[in-house]
Structure 1
Amino acid sequence: MGHRTFASFAALGDSFTEGLNDPGPGGEGGPFRGWADRVAERLAALEPEFRYANLAVRGRLLGQVVEQQVPRAVEMRPDLVSLCAGGNDLLRPGCDPDAMARLLAGAVRDLRATGAEVLLFTGVDPRDTPIMRRARGTFAIFYMHVRSIADLYGCRLVDQWSMQGLRDWRAWSEDRLHMNAEGHRLVAAKVCDVLGIECADEWRKRWPPRERVTPGERRREDVRWVREHLGPWVVRRLRGRSSGDGLDPKRPDLGLLDL
């Protein structure tokens, strides 16, 4: 398979695309790396003048991404745009996946009108996640809309729902909301596959067996997760706060990568 090259790439979205919790070269104190940076590094290796922007900010809702990031990407006119948003909306009670889909479709239409290739994502199946699995039907409805939008506008689709390697907790951070470095590596490999770009990594991960966890141990882990991670997240939402308040995108402009 020959290499597909892109001269520029703009990544839009929330914490998933910002790269939480995949530490960059500077370690925990510096900007996160994440799947988008990993893909950009691969694209830069194929195209010497490749330029990359990452406008994603943790905590952003779909409407905020559409309002704040999509117009900037339209202005930039990159060859490739990734748009993954809506996960934070789906975690909120009473969200409307049909209304979300209409908003997403309008954004995709604007991006495709620039001539850019657009990369869309389904999310990971939440059936293994306490609390979140209760909203599995809502998640599924929205991601079926995403698939339809990708088909309607001729977008590339990264289907994380079918990635069995992401169903293992070893691909996730302790908060169970953000992937760790291994999870981001798997997603980057899947994106490269969808784009037709050769990649040394394989997204079809088969994890080795792990120690059996008793039901009691699992319940204790779930209680600790609710106390340490889910509870603080809910409190922030009730107070109208976000983990991304006051944060700017890590790469607000198209620029060359230092490899």
Structure 2
Amino acid sequence: APDVTFTANSADGTFSKGDNLEFKCSAQGNPDPTMTLTRKETDEELRTVQTGELTHTLSLDCLDTGVYVCCGQNSQKTTREEISISVRCPQKLIPTLDPDPQVNAVIGKSAEFGVEIYGYPEPSSLFLQAVNDATDLSSSSRHTVVYTAGLAPFGTVNVTISDLFASDFTNYTLTVDNGEGQPLVYSFYLNEVNAPQSPNENQDSEGESLNTVAVVIGVVAMVVIACFVIFVAILLKKNRKLRENNCEDII
């Protein structure tokens, strides 16, 4: 079976953006193994050689943080070795997941949303404040700002504002800092909307509408009946007068 040796030009696997990362992977075996270098998270194949030694260089960017795998394979067996690489860079928004800057919420309820970001290391400071107010809201009893790590270098900053008052509906800034370069400053607006009707409220509304229709139909029916009675009474009265006149003519 192949005996794989996999190294990178950093003792702890930590680099800065723009650094050159050099992988060296070698294997011995009989027959000679095929060497393949891949990115574990995406299964992207970076290089393959038919000899027992592989060298590959990357000019690192923030999104290169991850796990890399060197694989030696021959007809006898496949052997793998992994190296974790971290690229230091400031936190940024994930371009394909740009959040909606308007957050809708109902007064008296809670507003909750998440901001998807990437960068390394993880944030060391999360700061939430309303426009024209320097107070850090992230530590108050009604405001919660928490970072949840995902698959490196990705993560989510979750924001919750509870028991909303009318004064809470304004502009905010969320500052995320990991000590690398400029911090990420994200702006959003908390927008007040009406609470959606519950099914019971809808049923009550429908019931009230049906009751109103029933009352209207009843009133119309009573008017029609009253008009009919009056018409019949007038008709009977006319017929009686005609009979009386006919009797007088005969006499």
Return the TM-score normalized by structure 2: 0.19
**Bigger Cα Rg:** 2
**Which has the bigger relative contact order, CA under 8 A and spacing at least 6?**
1
Return the TM-score normalized by structure 1: 0.18
